[in-house]
A and B are shown apart, each in its own frame.
Chain A
């Protein structure tokens, strides 16, 4: 069985949490004691029915205000698949939490309130989904019960959204008319929406193909830790521990260690007490090399046939996530894989205006701004363009005064 990770996104109050609650409720994934707590809660819908949003709105402040503040993770499975759901907040103030949930998603469900159509936050989240390269998108047009399940309204929102999808290069979009509140097209196909012939949301999630293979097949292993027991019988043991982030390694593969550029050959792959012939993407292993070279945490082992870019001046997309704006005179830290080095944002090339999706040449990078920059790092990073290899193209910026993560970088290319 495989795991599908998905996120719900969209504007505040579009019904994301209610939709997750409905999905869990109608697929019988809520246990008796949790159900009891749900019934006992004093947050109810206007018609007195239980408010399914409180299944994921787990914080006191969220229940008091009726909004989601931070991502909630929920787990459930059907006969077909295991699901890890990230229920993200819609409020613009909490965009960084949405980005947190979206960074690991295979699929995004973007909700649109049928009464309101596409709004700024729909576009912002769609932009983030496209920047983060979430391969599949579902547009759930929600609250259909409040527009008499109108096909025209649905169609006109579809037309509007398709314009955005083209601008944002979102290729794979599925549109589903739903009512999270009433349960139409969530788990069960709706009888009220008889004009819609497609799948219910759950059916779609169970069957959608997640092709992670379109990612780079170049083998990458960021070194996390060097295993050196230094006991008498294991005196010369030297294993490089890490998780293969893309591609795969086999014994006898020729590899290069970056940034040093030393080359060697893989002599052994270990996973605790087993010695797998191949280390596949996603596996946490310990590898041994034929030659004794100096390797430590922060280095990356790659296949010599397809080396990444090695550069300290890099163009990247940036999403700013802190209330203190970007300061180009300040030295920040950049964390890429297992390496953390000092950096400066040397130049802001442009920002993107969320309403028009046009470039904006205002250099003031504030909370929730998205744009393109050039960063200069104190030591070169061995990266692949995020578009080609997510696992080796993402990085974060840390403010060394507060230690807080303030920016998400999607690296594009060396501009040295």
Chain B
């Protein structure tokens, strides 16, 4: 691809739009997985660029653990009203009520792992053949290995040893019934690229990405937002801190960072100077060296 004169953000944007349109062209029933985080917000913006003035050829799908930051849900609903697209919500609570998963117990209990079951159920129930996600290869070492069109079997499993060749910008979306493809249009973006793009495009974000005051407790060396979803006991000391979130997932697995970055420029400076990676603030990746790979083999994003 001859892209001599394009600036890197334009090149990344053009690639992502191209991938989104390939999904539209190749699949019968795609969906865009929307988590409420900055990466999926960026995806929605890219989808506007890919398909407007037409409608999106897919609904947005939110897998709701029930343990959300209030700001995320508020943002989601406002965004849906603004763009006028369809939203489907899969509730982890339903999977619990149906007895398909069992709520974890103890201090480090989180619904993060349970959401895979809800995700797979939602995919099956709606017959989705492709799910677009905002994962990036720079996030984590197993992700660094995944194709842009990543084929999953009937059980949602990723088989890292049997990935299809993926040449040039030709994406093979052919699958058998029951299988689905996970598609990652911003695979080649770094965290900083996303922020620079959000700044350039003036994309609104949930307020939790910016520095604010919040009651926190310290768990395993990390700052966690105090919330009714976090199992707390008398050892946990609640302190009011100046924090922001670098990545947003479930409240029980997303750690805050101490920050005074109130504006997007401050955030970009903070990340450029940071010595810790983005997923360093995710409890779910701390479990073991292969935590992400194992989750992906189990059907996780």
- A-side residues, CB < 8 A to B, are 1-3, 31-34, 37, 41, 55-56, 58-61, 63, 69-75, 82, 84, 96-97, 99-100, 103-104, 211-213, 215-216, 224-225, 227-229, 234, 237, 241-243, 245-247, 271-273, 280-284, 297, 321, 333, 335-338, 340, 390-391, 394-396, 398, 400, 403-405, 408
Contacts and interface: CB of A to CB of B under 8 A. Distances in A.
Contact of B6 (A58, A72, A211, A282): A282
19 contacts: A31-B274, A41-B289, A73-B144, A74-B138, A97-B163, A100-B165, A104-B168, A224-B18, A228-B54, A229-B53, A241-B51, A243-B14, A243-B18, A273-B52, A281-B1, A281-B4, A284-B13, A284-B17, A403-B174
B14 A391 contact: no
A215 B2 contact: yes
Nearest to A74: B144
Contact of B8 (A3, A242, A405): A3
A337 B143 CA distance: 26
Residues of A contacting B: mostly: mixed
Given A103-B168, A335-B170, A337-B170, A33 B13 contact: no
A60 B290 CA distance: 6
Residues of B contacting A: mostly: loop
B188 A84 contact: yes
Interface in B127-148: 137-138, 140-145, 147
A188 to B, nearest CB: 22
Interface centre among B6, B142, B145 (most CB of A within 10 A): B145
A31 B48 CA distance: 34
B227 interface: no
A321 B170 CA distance: 15
Given A59-B142, A225-B21, A335 B172 contact: yes
Nearest to B52: A272
Interface in B252-292: 274-277, 280, 289-290
Contact of A60 (B50, B54, B293): B293
Nearest to A394: B168
Interface residues of B, number: 62
Interface centre among B3, B138, B167, B174 (most CB of A within 10 A): B167
Contacts, number: 195
Contact of A283 (B10, B21, B170): B10
A33 B22 CA distance: 36
Interface in B156-210: 160-161, 163-170, 172, 174-176, 187-188, 190
Contact of A69 (B4, B10, B160, B187): B160
B145 A71 contact: yes
B116 to A, nearest CB: 19
Contacts of B274: 31
A405 B165 contact: yes
A283 B14 contact: yes
B82 interface: no
A213 B175 CA distance: 37
B170 A225 contact: no
Contact of A338 (B25, B142, B168, B275): B25
A74 B49 CA distance: 27
Given A60-B290, A396-B167, A69 B161 contact: yes
A243 B14 CA distance: 7
A238 B215 CA distance: 53
